[in-house]
Structure 1
Amino acid sequence: MKNSLGREGLLRPYEGAFQDKRHVEYIDNKEKGRIPEFSENLDEVLDALELRDGITVSFHHHLRNGDQVLNLVMGKLQERGLKGITVAASSFFPCHAPLVPMFEDGTVTRLHASYMSGPVARAVSEGKVKEICTITTHGGRPRAILEGELVIDAAFIAAPAVDFHGNLTGSEGPAACGVLGYAHADAQAGKKVVAITDTVKESVNRPEISGHLIDYVVKVKTIGDPKGIVSGTTKITKDPVGLKIARDAATVIAHSGLLQDGFSFQTGAGGTSLAVALEVKKIMKERNIKGSFACGGTTDYLVDMLKEGFFEKLYDVQAFNLDAVESVKKNERHVKISANTYANLHNDQSIVNQLDVVILGASEIDVDFNVNVTTGSDGYILGGSGGHADTAAGAKLAIIVSALVNSRISCLVERVTTVTTPGETIDMLVTERGIAVHPRHEKLIRTLKEETSLKIMDIRELKAVADSLTGVPRRKESTGEIVAVSEYRDGAILDVIWKVKK
């Protein structure tokens, strides 16, 4: 499952990001050369779709906490009295709270997503959704859609701009979100595909989704607020603990043998992860290293590294702030990619499989290096894998960065509450009080001990330090009722999520 640290023969990044040849049969099943029907009346389009009870509808989350399309469409379906709907959104955010009453009246009975937070996540945790929900990965979602495992009856795509031929882009219009990578599999494989937009133009530049995949275009007043894209931490931490962790992680990378010309890198949007990117940038500048690419959800820090020539390309599946939205619109070296190209393990040109290093966070990590970013220690859902498990499996070196103790709670436990990413794909944990390297990396452990002053520890030794500070927490009892499953990128069930016992 995990590529070795010394893996050779990396594939070249796939330039045809939105022309996935592997799944061309889905494109061929669409009528080529036609123009979708345009309308300003969503109800008329919903009538034409002939929707029924028990359907699966899909949405994407590129507008993040500013999205208004999911609520608009689902409100219409609720008004029509439809029941038993599965909502397959790439992610759910606090703005999607209007779904909660739909769980209670039976409009929606199942969710499928890569991430969920806010009232929707809380409702799932409390057992308010009738059927067992699925939390998968960003790569697992397009795999399931394109292979027919997740069948979408109607895909609704929030499109910042659409041209007269139905071509979609995320880079133009008042609600520009940068990229539409998570919606591409939906457009390819959805039985019916509806683009919802607030901007129709004669032409759009560098469209990401071709009009021949779209059945209907509906123009509405607004699809959302792009300021909602900037949700969560997208600034470098100023906390001394976080900065020490970042410096130590960068030192590990510098001595790993991977930081050389052609280096490839991904980091998350958390404050410590971004600090690692800044430290790596300093080392690259000192050594005059030029990387091949950076990738993932994009912030201004990676955009700046691209502009300054530290990387040849920036592969972007979603924008985390408005600087990234502007960059991907103008810079040809800032390349839009689909989730299938980014992380589908059955796409042999997947970008994550070409990563040297990925920096990831954790709400919990256990002594077997299993990581949880799905639930809190209280059992409530607080997120999901997103690209966590995908990148950990693909990268040569997957580094977890986390404070060992935060608010008297240790991140290092005997067994995680929920397995999001299996320990066999994690290479090390970097904390302010020590670094635990997976024992399979004997050579790397020797190198770090010989060449650096880093405190390299066995993971159980590090846990003993944490326990001395916090004590051993008592595990929260489960109710015995499963509300969701944590699904791996290949569709295997890694763990179950229990209804919270109040």
Structure 2
Amino acid sequence: MTRDLPDHLPGYGPLRPYAEAAACPDLPLIPERGDAGTADKRLPDLASALHAAGLREGMTLSFHHHLRNGDGVLNAALDAVAQAGIGDLTLAPSSIFAAHAPLLDHIARGTVTGLRTAYMAGPVAQAVSRGALARPVVLHTHGGRARDIETGRLRVDVAFIAAAMADRAGNLTGAHGPSAFGPLGYGQVDAARARVTVAVTDCLVNELPCAPDIPAAQVDYIVVLDRIGDAARIVSGTTQITTDPKGLRIAAMAGDLIAASGLMRRGMSFQTGAGGTSLAVAARLGHLMADAGVTAGFASGGITAPIVALHRAGLVDRLWNVQSFDLDAVESFASDPRHCGMSASRYANPARDDAIVNALDVMILGATEVGSDFDVNVTTGSDGTIMGGSGGHADAAAGAKLAIVVTPLATRDWPRLVDQVTCRTTPGAHVDAVVTEAGIAINPRRADLAERARHAGLPVMTLEAMRALCPPPPDVPGPAPDAPVVAVCEYRDGSVIDLVRQQR
């Protein structure tokens, strides 16, 4: 479905609209960072690090989100920036959570005037939806962010890397320490390409007990805080297997669809989201694999306890982890040599042929809305409020041989199946099937999959028939068509897939 997009947007520039076969433009790769030397890199505080980094107005700062809602580094760094009186900064965190609500004060003061991120939730997302920033936020995918940083399209002046442990040379890991959070997948890209990298840790040792996620040559300065955050707040209620009968029915049908597709075979690969129904699909798939005597080659993405359980049961040979979603995954990453970390670039960079998403057989996706053309929204609610973002959604859907969306027909009387999604996150061309409690809708582009599903006796129906079972939407007006743009949604290749407009 074509979106009506302007040619140019103030505060963003020319818009290159999304096309189904859009190719990544050729951009020169910026060189790798060299050896940072052997001088003492420790500084007494963040204020000293800002001075040493030469921070000035108009620069771009990056952060990573492996501590998720327990992150304390972004808030601490911005407090230091504000005290230094520096403003008009662009932030490029890999994600923003409710814990980052203090960012709103820095926006109001003009310390921060721009945001680029792959996911936004909580008070900052709500305020942006109401027009808190003069410039539109740029929402990209995890793979698109990695590509932008590596090509120089997004130039990071100072990267702040929260490290669970650092040694005095500047080698960093997320695997060990009192605030251990797992791999440093998103921070690896930032540290390698930023003009200056500042490591922030609460555990400084003489030598790491493991190979570093980020080598000392990519770290310029080290600051030790009392705490970098609360690792217990990595986990959320959405990262637990659902016990809802409706969700379990959806999971059962999705697992059976994978089995019917012919992709459930020795050496298969898969990724699930962190939602309760997606994790239930993984559990169902594990039972089916065990019954069939099938072992997967790898599971990837953000890793959770249910995926670790499949690995420990011998059903998945290797885990490729870009971030840990709970403490079981953190512990597994630290202790299991077949639980491997990967950078965001290795995970999903669309310019890399060896990106892990390109080797996926199956991807299980969630949805806020699914349109009649199989487009998916995970960026906004139906009222237009930003409540998420693509993250790896569009990246994995593009790479997988089979992309399945699992969603109930409705949530709190809001239909999940709509004529046109409020915001287009993942194009329908990369969505193969939608599974609800009513049955399975298969994209007309996948006649082969529909034939296999029917042959297996699965309840296949059209998306139109499924949508007719949804309740009518509440009479809540969304943003006006001519309202100011508050966010530009970029597809993984840097083209613009949609715009989010200010709430009424």
CA distance in 1, matches of 2:123, 2:479: 22
* Runs of 5+ consecutive residues of structure 2 not aligned to the other structure: 1-18, 22-26
Structure 2 residue aligned with 1:92: 96
- Confirm whether residue 427 of structure 1 aligns to residue 432 of structure 2: yes
Equivalent residue for 2:182, pick from 174, 178, 182: 178
CA distance in 1, matches of 2:194, 2:36: 15
Equivalent residue for 1:194, pick from 182, 194, 198: 198
Q: CA offsets, 1:207-248, max 9 Å, x none?
A: 110000001011111101111111241211111100000000
CA distance in 2, matches of 1:46, 1:60: 18
- Confirm whether residue 464 of structure 1 aligns to residue 468 of structure 2: yes
Secondary structure of 1:139 counterpart: helix
- Confirm whether residue 264 of structure 1 aligns to residue 266 of structure 2: no
Secondary structure of 1:196 counterpart: strand
Secondary structure of 2:469 counterpart: helix
Structure 2 residue aligned with 1:211: 216
CA distance in 2, matches of 1:441, 1:140: 27
- TM-score normalised by the chain length of structure 2: 0.92
- Confirm whether residue 481 of structure 1 aligns to residue 481 of structure 2: no
CA contact (8 A) 1:35 1:211 kept: no
Equivalent residue for 2:401, pick from 396, 399, 405: 396
My pick for the range that moved more, 232-241 or 471-480, is: 471-480
Amino acid at match of 1:432: E
Q: Is the alpha carbon distance of 1:175 and 1:471 closer, same or farther for their aligned partners in structure 2, counting shifts above 3 Å?
A: closer
Structure 2 residue aligned with 1:289: 294
Structure 2 residue aligned with 1:492: 495
Structure 1 residue aligned with 2:3: none
Secondary structure of 1:131 counterpart: coil
Q: 1:347 Cα deviation (Å)?
A: 1.2
Amino acid at match of 1:481: P
CA contact (8 A) 2:36 2:216 kept: no
CA contact (8 A) 1:317 1:338 kept: yes
Number of aligned residue pairs = 479
CA contact (8 A) 2:146 2:345 kept: yes
Amino acid at match of 1:50: G
Structure 2 residue aligned with 1:128: 132
CA distance in 2, matches of 1:234, 1:47: 40
Equivalent residue for 2:144, pick from 140, 159, 172: 140
Q: 1:260 Cα deviation (Å)?
A: 0.3
Q: CA offsets, 1:250-290, max 9 Å, x none?
A: 01001001000011011111111111011100010001001
Q: What is the RMSD of the two structures over their aligned residues, measured on CA atoms?
A: 1.7
Structure 1 residue aligned with 2:246: 241
Q: Is the alpha carbon distance of 1:433 and 1:473 closer, same or farther for their aligned partners in structure 2, counting shifts above 3 Å?
A: farther
CA distance in 1, matches of 2:233, 2:395: 25
- TM-score normalised by the chain length of structure 1: 0.93
CA contact (8 A) 1:369 1:423 kept: yes
Amino acid at match of 1:152: V
CA contact (8 A) 1:36 1:215 kept: no
CA distance in 2, matches of 1:176, 1:148: 30
Structure 2 residue aligned with 1:74: 78
Q: 1:31 Cα deviation (Å)?
A: 2.7
CA distance in 2, matches of 1:472, 1:53: 45
CA distance in 2, matches of 1:491, 1:444: 31
Q: Is the alpha carbon distance of 1:175 and 1:280 closer, same or farther for their aligned partners in structure 2, counting shifts above 3 Å?
A: same
CA distance in 1, matches of 2:313, 2:330: 18
Q: 1:32 Cα deviation (Å)?
A: 5.7
CA distance in 2, matches of 1:417, 1:155: 33
Structure 2 residue aligned with 1:47: 51
CA distance in 2, matches of 1:309, 1:119: 42
Q: 1:462 Cα deviation (Å)?
A: 1.5
Q: CA offsets, 1:452-477, max 9 Å, x none?
A: 1x2211211221222xx336867624
Amino acid at match of 1:482: V
Q: 1:450 Cα deviation (Å)?
A: 2.1
Q: Is the alpha carbon distance of 1:207 and 1:352 closer, same or farther for their aligned partners in structure 2, counting shifts above 3 Å?
A: same
Q: 1:79 Cα deviation (Å)?
A: 1.4
My pick for the range that moved more, 456-465 or 338-347, is: 456-465
Q: 1:24 Cα deviation (Å)?
A: 9.1
Structure 2 residue aligned with 1:18: none
CA distance in 2, matches of 1:46, 1:441: 53
Amino acid at match of 1:63: L
Structure 2 residue aligned with 1:356: 361
Structure 2 residue aligned with 1:118: 122
Question: Sequence identity of aligned pairs in percent?
Answer: 46
Structure 2 residue aligned with 1:312: 317
CA contact (8 A) 2:47 2:84 kept: no
CA distance in 1, matches of 2:117, 2:159: 14
Structure 2 residue aligned with 1:371: 376
Structure 2 residue aligned with 1:26: 31
Q: CA offsets, 1:284-326, max 9 Å, x none?
A: 0001001100011111111111111111100000001001000
Amino acid at match of 2:453: L
* Runs of 5+ consecutive residues of structure 1 not aligned to the other structure: 4-21
CA distance in 2, matches of 1:247, 1:311: 19
Structure 2 residue aligned with 1:14: none
Secondary structure of 2:333 counterpart: helix
- Confirm whether residue 149 of structure 1 aligns to residue 187 of structure 2: no
